[in-house]
Chain A
Amino acid sequence: MLVDIKNLRIAFTSRGKRFEAVRGISLSLGREKLGIVGESGSGKSLTARALMKLLPKTAEVTADTLRYDDVDVLKASERQMRKIRGGRVGFVLQDPKYSLNPVKTIGSQVDEAWREHKRGSAREAREATLDLLDQVMIRDPKKVYASYPHEVSGGMGQRAMIAMALAPNPELLIADEPTSALDATVQAEILRLINDLVEKRGMGLILISHDLPLVSHFCDRVCVMYSGQIMEEMAASDLMNAQHPYTRGLLNCMPSLMHPRDRLPVLTREDSWQEETAR
């Protein structure tokens, strides 16, 4: 098992008030594709960040178990975590405009990711990078290698990010809203690319998104989060038969091109969804 989380809780204290943003999440993941869906503020990104120990010091993280493979993340040192982050686990973030370094060429950034974990010469790094850029379907790798992030489109930037995440040959890829900043036409391409690469390399994938149908298309399993808890977990193929009223509500309130409606059904939030179930 790659990831094992039991009863994860993340709390923040602000102006004397303690707020629990993640309340008792349990999930496990092997070499499979897991989707985490939920609205903004539901705690989906926090969960992924806690796993990589990337939360700010102000966050209070507790768990019965928080393991990445053989590493106890709660007890792990920064040194141990640095081996995991980027090395064993690749991260793809939402917006390539903000997550790539604007003053370094794309090539040198992918080089750095490769050299940090693979320890090779500059020439080897360049060869590996060109190969990676080719793998993420960039048509002219040499040109993109020498380009700065602002010189390429959003879709190209996101491909470069994926190349960077894959450079050290990780076992798990965490993609946090990897396509939300992209156009509809590019979105599908990027997700298909991630999917192909993950399958080809036999990696695990955690895909975090607010887009339920999209996630269910690319994942084996889906967790639906609401207000810091997992409301429902199911096989992606069963999404359309979801039981929980929250999941149903989310699916129902999407506008549709093919099935027009005068009014969109609005999600009515029930207080019972807020109640803690983990304790």
Chain B
Amino acid sequence: MSDRMIEVEDLRISFSSAEVVKGVSFEVDRGETFGIVGESGSGKSTVLRAMSGLNENWDGRILFNGEAVPKRRSREFFRKVQMVFQDPFGSLHPRQTIDRILSEILLVNRIGDIDRRINKVLADVALPRTSRFRYPHQLSGGQRQRVAIARALIAEPKVLLLDEPTSALDVSVQAEVLNLLADLREEHGLTYVMVSHNLAVISHLCGRVGVMQHGHMVEQVSVEDLRAGNVSHPHTQELRRLSVGLEDLQDA
């Protein structure tokens, strides 16, 4: 078994005539966390959606665990790869209880032992058992994002794709969710790809970062190099300067 969990080769995505992802390639090792930063419209979420199978209109190659995936994914694929979205208000069904939301993927995949699995996953994401029969609107934003993470975890995936998982949350709640993601990665040996526009958040969780601009991945650097300022592309330098500038205010 190779150590590459994910390989993306020359990924191209167009919407009608506009090409929004223009040949993006990167690799992610097993257990690694790869971050993608960029401004809105740079194509970072579009890359993630193609990887997750939400968008079937792409060219290039995407490999999970050494196997090229087809455009239309098998049911089995979604047990291995799951996605967490930005807005926990929009990504949970408002008329379904947490119990129903979490059991859906188990029913679809004919995985048994639903009761035990739900209780375990709720404990994993540190939600009280009582939240199981609540509706999303009865939970806080942070709790809802925990439900979204629990839903992604319940089929025991190998890869989590995280699209701005904390940008809709308060900083205090963001800290809890980031800690939770770090713990889960450790416990379950997960591989993450995380998209964010916040360099501080990305650098907290990721080992390597890809910087996107206008549909190109203009640079890939390790977080250590990013911290030390060993970056070559002007856009990376600008993003770094802004992030450091804000932190300097705090230190001053």
Selected contact of B172 from candidates A39, A211, A255, CB within 8 Å: A39
Residue on B nearest A154 in the bound complex, by CB: B40
List A residues 220-272 near B (Cβ within 8 Å). Answer: 240, 249-251, 253-267
Chain A hits for B249, CB < 8 A? 213, 216-217
- B31 within 8 Å of A by Cβ? no
Q: In the complex the two chains form, is B247's CB within 8 Å of A256's CB?
A: yes
- What residues of A have a CB within 8 angstroms of the CB of B74 in the complex? none
Is A183 close to B, CB under 8 A? yes
Contact B176 A266 (CB under 8 A): yes
Does any Cβ of B come within 8 Å of A210's Cβ?
yes
Q: From B174, B243, B251, B252, give the contact of A184 (CB < 8 A).
A: B243
Q: CA of A249 to CA of B245 in the docked complex: distance in angstroms?
A: 21
Q: A207 CA to B73 CA in the complex, in Å?
A: 47
Query: How many Å lie between the Cα of A73 and that of B58 in the bound state?
Result: 58
A149-182 CB mask vs B (1 if < 8 Å, else 0) is: 0000010000000000000000000000000000
Do A253 and B203 touch (CB < 8 A)?
A: no
With contacts A213-B249, A266-B172 known, is A255 near B243, CB below 8 A?
no
A interface bracket (residues with beta carbon within 8 Å of B):
20 to 34
Residue of B178, B246, B247 ringed by the most chain A CB atoms within 10 A: B246
A260 contacts which of B204, B238, B252 (Cβ < 8 Å)? B204
With both chains docked as a complex, state the minimum distance between the C-beta of A191 and any C-beta of chain B, in angstroms: 11
The answer to whether the Cβ of B97 comes within 8 Å of any Cβ in the partner chain is no
Known: A183-B39, A254-B171, A267-B172. A260 touches B227 (CB 8 A): yes
Smallest CB separation, A184 vs chain B (Å): 5
Contact of A210 among B40, B171, B199, B242 (CB under 8 A): B171
In the complex, are the beta carbons of A257 and B172 less than 8 A apart?
A: no
Residues from chain A with Cβ under 8 Å of B245 in the complex: 188
Given A240-B250, A257-B240, A266 and B175 touching (CB < 8 A)?
Answer: yes
CB-defined contacts of B204 to chain A, threshold 8 Å: 255-256, 260-261, 264
Whether B40 lies near A183 (C-beta < 8 A) is: yes
* Known contacts A210-B170, A257-B244; is-contact A185 B239 (Cβ 8 Å): yes
Cβ–Cβ contact A183 & B197, under 8 A: yes
- Smallest CB–CB gap between A205 and chain B, Å? 18
A99 interface contact, C-beta 8 A: no
State how many angstroms separate the Cβ of A98 from the closest Cβ of chain B: 14
Find B199's partner among A217, A257, A262 (CB 8 Å cutoff). A257
Quick one: CB contact mask for B209-243 with A, threshold 8 Å, 1 for yes?
00000000000000100110000000000111011
A111 to B76, CA, bound (A): 57
Q: What residues of A have a CB within 8 angstroms of the CB of B182 in the complex?
A: 262-263
Instruction: Give Cα A254 to B239, complex, Å.
Output: 17
User: Interface size on B (CB < 8 Å)?
Assistant: 36
How far is A249 from B172 in the complex, measured between Cα atoms in Å? 8
Q: How far is the CA of A200 from the CA of B80 in the complex (A)?
A: 57
Task: Say if the beta carbon of A214 comes within 8 Å of chain B.
Answer: yes
Interface centre among A240, A254, A257, A262 (most CB of B within 10 A): A257
Pick from B172, B250, B252: contact of A253, CB under 8 Å:
B172
- Residue A101, interface by CB 8 Å: no
Q: In the assembled complex, which residues on chain B have CB atoms less than 8 Å from the CB atom of A262?
A: 182
B179 contacts which chain A residues (CB < 8 A)?
Answer: 263-264, 266
A248 smallest CB distance to B (angstroms): 12
| Bound CA span A256–B175, Å | 11
Residue in B178, B197, B223, B246 whose beta carbon sits within 8 Å of that of A214 in the complex: B246
B25 CB → nearest A CB, Å: 24
A253-B243 contact given A40-B141, A217-B249, A260-B227, CB 8 Å threshold? no
User: Quick check: A265 and B175 within 8 Å, CB to CB?
Assistant: yes
User: Please, which residue of chain A has its CB at the minimum distance from the CB of B228?
Assistant: A258
With beta carbons under 8 angstroms apart, the residue of A40, A188, A210, A267 that contacts B175 is A267
Binding site for A on B (CB under 8 A): 39-40, 141, 170-176, 178-179, 182, 197-201, 203-204, 223, 226-227, 238-240, 242-247, 249-252
6 contacts between A and B (CB under 8 A): A184-B197, A188-B242, A255-B201, A257-B203, A257-B227, A264-B178
Across chains A and B, which 10 residue pairs bring their CB atoms closest together, nearest first? A253-B175, A255-B204, A264-B175, A267-B172, A39-B170, A183-B39, A255-B200, A257-B203, A213-B250, A257-B200
- A214-B246, A253-B171, A257-B199 given; name 6 further pairs at CB < 8 Å: A217-B249, A255-B174, A255-B201, A255-B204, A260-B227, A266-B175
